[in-house]
A and B are shown apart, each in its own frame.
Chain A
Amino acid sequence: MFTNASNFTNDVDLTFAIIIGISLFFLIGLTALMIYFMVRYHHKRNPVAKDIHGHVGLEILWTVVPTILVLVMFYYGWSGYTDMRKVPDDAMKITATGRMWSWTFEYENGKKTDTLVIPIDKPVKLDLLSEDVIHSLYIPAFRVKEDLVPGDTNYMWFIGQQLGTYNILCAEYCGDRHSYMVSKVDVIEQQAFETWYNDTTQATLEGAEAGLALLKQNACMSCHSVDGTTMVGPSFKGLFGRNTEIESNGIVKNITADELYIIKSIEDPAADVVKGFSNIMPAYKDKMTQKELEQMIEYIKTLK
């Protein structure tokens, strides 16, 4: 608590502290009173009960006091929250996209990453988009969370106030690998950030190496492994040249995975569904150039 990691942590933690304080007071007080009454008015000590039907003054008291207390709690919750929705004008804009089961962050200059990198002490606004189902971007250390709703736009903002790396988790259940939809936010010095931001040399990778980078960027790795373990989809290891049983329009057939098959699997995965797997892979038609497809296949070929 009170780590000051983002501009909201202190307000949120203060709200927590106030409510928990009041709650503990009532929990301990009322429990103690209950136990005291059970001991003090045990039938051995108090053989004759006294009928008391009620007391208007007390009823008023214990209506008014809780009312005041909950209004105080409401106020703290509300004021802390209002700030969360008021984005400063100079905030840096980043688009955060979620899909089953990975994150992409796109900066204004077109730079795309799977981990969020932000400069310290600068307001950042995330525009939240989803490509499939609802996800929720949650950074526990910053005390922020907001849903990514497909077909809708939502946003969040914050200021990273301490250097370091923090977890980004998905808080809205989104299917098989929901708990693995994890990323990081790196809060770094302004200068380091600028160097990183202006460095767009990643395009210079070639061949298989570029293929690996593409697989990572396009979230293929959240469903496919490269080491032979079966995740949601078949592993890429040994894929090239593998004899696979597929179902195509209800007909089961055996094929050998060659370049054409792999390209078709990527562009239109619903056409040939590998036996034993569900038809949930998104279609990548028109999202990739021929060159990119070839680079990915080149990398897959190296996984024997």
Chain B
Amino acid sequence: MDNHAIDSHLNFYETKRGLFSWIFTLDHKRIALLYLYSISLFFLVGVALGFLMRLELFSPGGQVMDPRTYNQVFTFHGVIMIFLVIIPSIPAVFGNFFLPIMIGTDDVALPRLNLFSWWLYIFGALMALGTLMFGNGPADTGWTFYAPYSVTSDTNVSMLLLAAFILGFSSILTGLNFIVTIHRLRAPQMPWFRMPLFAWGLYATAWIQLLATPIVGITLLMVVMERTFGIGLFDPSLGGDPILYQHLFWIYSHPVVYVMILPAMGIVSEVIPTSAQRTIFGYKAIALSSMAIAFLGYFVWGHHMFTSGMSDQARVVFSFITFLVAIPTAIKVFNWIATLYKGSIYITPNLLWSTAFIFNFLIGGLTGLINGALAADVHVHDTTYIVAHFHYTMFGGTIFVFLGALHYWFPKIWGRMYNQKLAYWALGLTFVGFNILYGAMLTVGVKGMPRRYYDYLPQFEFLNKVATVGSWILIIGILLMIYNLIRSARKGEIAPRNPWNGVTLEWQVPSPPPLHNFDRPFILSEKGPYDFSLLEKINEVEQKPLDH
């Protein structure tokens, strides 16, 4: 059980100690953890703001804050969750930690750039927080910064836009780093179509980060210019065009939803074969559908603008392409479920987080079909239905996978096992609370309650109350999960190399891995990354009885 007895290496925590050894580290694993801790912190801040919003909406009329504050709260919640949590989340944490290991190398291609990305992230985050202190209060525009409201609002919009601009660079650099790493550092025995699917997800994502993010960067700067120097770009009273802003904004911000989801789909494609102890069904279909989604995702941005007065032909074309994106997404779901067929399934919290993801994401995707259908979208556009739809995809989708990945790779990262019983409870509460909260918001949206509403008509009261109660259950679940993971990281049972009997490379290194990841030559199959006939050979390294 003791890794050190086998390899005599120190693990990556032990090689160096002290604050500076962390914040100036070039080790991809430590950078991953720096991201994990910062992202978790902001996630909790975002959750707290979400809690406050739901409290305000418990009853009609003002409850705990005034309208201006509410508007600032949903803006800050959105900006934190999008730019500080979900865009970096899986790539920056699990991508950084596991991509090099899974493709058989000792670090990313550009470690200094990797550290620089994290510092940019921190700098951007501090700047976003700075809007709380400087200027006339934090922005109240919503995370979409629609002009001309964002041009005329007297709150501190400019600083928040600059923060988002800087965070964009952090994301571009991470993407660049992964592309180079996958092209240049892949183990020689690993051709493209034997890469683990998580690497495929990261690869597709990286291209979107690299190609789409600059557009939003420039767009946000244009708003800053307009606010500071009165250059008329988007505000009609200065001769600008507000619809132009929306095009530029969504040209980035639609593709970016795939930045959020593709890496998550990659992780699910890892967890399911490991849990079913068999190869993935339709490897190529899953890998290529990621690329198809990334590509098609560029041409659907107009579905956010179906009621904006865009030309009628454009609306029809955007609606059509939007439906096409549904197809590769459906293909993935079918292949995941088919992977369970004739497997030898071990039920663990890891697997249940993944199946909870599939359920939530099915709802997220299927409710998206209504948004794609022109006539129906006109009714639900800009209602709480949309808010629930994107929480189903981003929260129920990506964040659920993120939390599931924390469990799946927990033994590898911290070298200890987590408490399974508490993990089931936490997952159960989170899942139930989540569906009550957003199920109620979906319904009240179909009934016609617009989004970003501080106050609402009496007929919406009951469902809003249900939603708020759901948010409490959800938050208890999340807190329980965090408690369990923190406690287990310190007190849990010591973990073996390969607690879940996986066959990808990260299960062939010690838990936690040594500084340079590999302590012995790794085993790769000619039959692809999920060849479980190798399991015995992989596990020979460690004579620990497996605890299943």
Binding site for B on A (CB under 8 A): 8, 11-12, 15-16, 19-20, 22-23, 26-27, 30-31, 33-34, 37-38, 41-43, 46-55, 58-59, 62-63, 66-67, 70-71, 73-74, 76-81, 84-85, 128, 132-134, 136, 138, 140-141, 143-147, 149-154, 167, 169-180, 182, 278-280
Q: Which residues of the partner chain B approach A182 to less than 8 Å between Cβ atoms? A: 457
Select the residue from A20, A49, A51, A278 with max chain B CB neighbours within 10 A.
Answer: A51
Q: Is B226 an interface residue (CB 8 A)?
A: no
Cα of A41 to Cα of B340 in the assembled complex, Å: 8
Contact B381 A27 (CB under 8 A): no
Contact B379 A140 (CB under 8 A): yes
13 contacts between A and B (CB under 8 A): A8-B375, A38-B340, A41-B276, A43-B548, A49-B344, A73-B372, A77-B375, A134-B242, A150-B242, A171-B451, A176-B67, A176-B68, A178-B452
Cα of A221 to Cα of B355 in the assembled complex, Å: 52
Cα of A177 to Cα of B452 in the assembled complex, Å: 11
Nearest CB on A from B314, distance (A): 12
Contact B375 A31 (CB under 8 A): no
The 9 closest A-B CB pairs, nearest first, are A151-B236, A77-B373, A140-B448, A80-B375, A81-B374, A154-B309, A23-B366, A37-B340, A49-B278
Known contacts A12-B376, A152-B243: does B285 contact A146 (CB below 8 Å)? no
> Interface residues of B: mostly helix, strand, loop or mixed?
helix
In the complex formed, the residue of A with least CB distance to B530 is A51
> 16 new A-B pairs (CB below 8 Å) besides A50-B343, A59-B282, A171-B307?
A30-B358, A31-B358, A41-B342, A43-B344, A49-B277, A67-B327, A74-B323, A78-B319, A132-B148, A144-B379, A150-B242, A173-B146, A173-B382, A174-B149, A176-B140, A179-B454
Select the residue from B240, B315, B334 with max chain A CB neighbours within 10 A.
Answer: B334
Select the residue from B68, B333, B341 with max chain A CB neighbours within 10 A.
Answer: B341
Q: Which residues of the partner chain B approach A149 to less than 8 Å between Cβ atoms? A: 242-243, 308-309
Nearest CB on A from B442, distance (A): 11
Cα of A150 to Cα of B316 in the assembled complex, Å: 24
Within 8 A of A (CB), among B275-314: 276-279, 281-285, 307-309, 312
- Number of contacts between A and B (CB, 8 Å)? 273
Contact B242 A27 (CB under 8 A): no
Q: Which residues of the partner chain A approach B118 to less than 8 Å between Cβ atoms? A: none
Contact A140 B382 (CB under 8 A): no
Cα of A63 to Cα of B335 in the assembled complex, Å: 11
Nearest CB on B from A153, distance (A): 8
Contact B456 A179 (CB under 8 A): yes
Contact A167 B331 (CB under 8 A): no
Cα of A167 to Cα of B316 in the assembled complex, Å: 28
Q: Is B152 an interface residue (CB 8 A)?
A: yes
Tell me which of B236, B382, B457 contacts A150 (CB under 8 A). B236
In the complex formed, the residue of B with least CB distance to A131 is B237
Tell me which of A43, A143, A173 contacts B277 (CB under 8 A). A43
Cα of A49 to Cα of B281 in the assembled complex, Å: 13
Contact B345 A38 (CB under 8 A): yes
Contact A70 B447 (CB under 8 A): no
Cα of A19 to Cα of B372 in the assembled complex, Å: 11
Select the residue from A16, A151, A167 with max chain B CB neighbours within 10 A.
Answer: A151
Tell me which of A52, A71, A85 contacts B278 (CB under 8 A). A52
Contact A54 B149 (CB under 8 A): no
Contact B342 A46 (CB under 8 A): yes
Tell me which of A11, A26, A178 contacts B362 (CB under 8 A). A26
Contact B377 A77 (CB under 8 A): yes
Select the residue from B324, B342, B456 with max chain A CB neighbours within 10 A.
Answer: B342
In the complex formed, the residue of B with least CB distance to A142 is B379
Contact A167 B448 (CB under 8 A): yes
Contact B309 A138 (CB under 8 A): no
Nearest CB on A from B518, distance (A): 26
Tell me which of A42, A77, A147 contacts B376 (CB under 8 A). A77
Nearest CB on B from A130, distance (A): 9
Contact A52 B333 (CB under 8 A): no
Contact A133 B342 (CB under 8 A): no
Contact B148 A133 (CB under 8 A): yes
Nearest CB on B from A199, distance (A): 30
0/1 string, B380-397, CB within 8 A of A gives 1: 011100000000000000
Q: Which residues of the partner chain A approach B282 to less than 8 Å between Cβ atoms? A: 53-55, 59
Q: Is B330 an interface residue (CB 8 A)?
A: yes
Tell me which of B152, B347, B369 contacts A19 (CB under 8 A). B369
Cα of A152 to Cα of B197 in the assembled complex, Å: 47
Known contacts A59-B331, A76-B375: does B283 contact A54 (CB below 8 Å)? yes
Nearest CB on B from A242, distance (A): 22
Select the residue from A19, A30, A50, A171 with max chain B CB neighbours within 10 A.
Answer: A171
Q: Is B123 an interface residue (CB 8 A)?
A: no
Q: Which residues of the partner chain A approach B375 to less than 8 Å between Cβ atoms? A: 8, 11-12, 15, 76-81, 84, 143
Q: Is B153 an interface residue (CB 8 A)?
A: yes
Nearest CB on A from B285, distance (A): 5
Tell me which of B153, B281, B323 contacts A54 (CB under 8 A). B281
Nearest CB on B from A73, distance (A): 5
Cα of A217 to Cα of B475 in the assembled complex, Å: 46
Q: Which residues of the partner chain A approach B461 to less than 8 Å between Cβ atoms? A: none
Select the residue from A26, A38, A136 with max chain B CB neighbours within 10 A.
Answer: A38
Contact A143 B379 (CB under 8 A): yes
Select the residue from A85, A152, A172, A173 with max chain B CB neighbours within 10 A.
Answer: A173
Q: Which residues of the partner chain B approach A167 to less than 8 Å between Cβ atoms? A: 448, 457
Contact B285 A38 (CB under 8 A): no
In the complex formed, the residue of B with least CB distance to A152 is B309
Q: Is B326 an interface residue (CB 8 A)?
A: yes
Contact A71 B323 (CB under 8 A): yes
Tell me which of B240, B316, B323, B344 contacts A70 (CB under 8 A). B323
Nearest CB on A from B278, distance (A): 4
Contact A53 B283 (CB under 8 A): yes
Q: Is B450 an interface residue (CB 8 A)?
A: yes
Contact B345 A41 (CB under 8 A): yes
0/1 string, B130-149, CB within 8 A of A gives 1: 00000010001110001011
Q: Which residues of the partner chain A approach B276 to less than 8 Å between Cβ atoms? A: 41, 49
Nearest CB on A from B291, distance (A): 15
Cα of A154 to Cα of B243 in the assembled complex, Å: 12
In the complex formed, the residue of B with least CB distance to A137 is B307
Contact B358 A140 (CB under 8 A): no
Contact B307 A145 (CB under 8 A): yes
Cα of A150 to Cα of B342 in the assembled complex, Å: 60
Contact B362 A27 (CB under 8 A): yes
Nearest CB on B from A139, distance (A): 9
Nearest CB on B from A84, distance (A): 7
Q: Is B89 an interface residue (CB 8 A)?
A: no
Q: Which residues of the partner chain A approach B269 to less than 8 Å between Cβ atoms? A: none
Tell me which of A73, A138, A141 contacts B373 (CB under 8 A). A73
Q: Which residues of the partner chain A approach B278 to less than 8 Å between Cβ atoms? A: 49-52
Q: Which residues of the partner chain B approach A27 to less than 8 Å between Cβ atoms? A: 359, 362-363, 366
Contact A43 B346 (CB under 8 A): yes
